[in-house]
């Protein structure tokens, strides 16, 4: 996942909703999370997908994140030959903007 380098986006985000999946699926393997690094790349984990693997099959894809007026993040997410989704995340309480 890449995003323009924006200090307000860097950090850990809790994925709270998605257009394709309910909350039970998002949190299937633990709390659904997104981490955005300073270089604009990130890591995402929800459902059976974790940092490049979906149900133990390696996957790759792309995404973008946009900071919304309410302080949440909207994530456009797609992986190769897989789902495309819009996710919403809120800053994790253990992470602060730089």
Q: Indicate whether 35 belongs to any domain.
A: yes
Domain-embedded: residue 97: no
How many domains are there within the chain?
1
Q: 98 near 10, Cβ under 8 Å?
A: yes
pLDDT of residue 77: 85
Read off the pTM.
Answer: 0.80
Closest by CA to 64, choosing from 84, 46, 92, 93, is: 84
Q: What is the pLDDT of residue 2?
A: 45
- Report if residue 96 sits inside a domain: no
The radius of gyration of the chain from alpha carbons, rounded to an integer in Å, stands at 12
Looking at residue 3, what is its pLDDT? Answer: 41
| Structural domain harbouring 68 | 11-91
The one-digit pLDDT tens for each residue of the chain (98 residues) are 444 456 888 999 999 999 999 999 999 989 999 998 888 888 888 988 775 655 666 767 788 889 999 999 999 988 777 789 999 999 997 655 55
CA dist., res. 65 & res. 51, Å (int): 16
């Amino acid at each position: 996942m890449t995003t323009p380098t924006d200090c307000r986006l860097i950090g850990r985000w809790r994925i709270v909703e998605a257009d394709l999946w309910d909350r039970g699926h998002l949190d299937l393997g633990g709390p659904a999370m997104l981490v955005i690094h300073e270089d604009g790349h990130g890591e995402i984990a929800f459902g059976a997908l974790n940092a490049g693997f979906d149900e133990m099959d390696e996957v790759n894809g792309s995404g973008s994140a946009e900071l919304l007026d309410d302080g949440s993040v909207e994530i456009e997410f797609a992986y190769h030959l897989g789902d495309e989704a819009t996710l919403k995340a809120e800053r994790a309480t253990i992470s602060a903007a730089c």
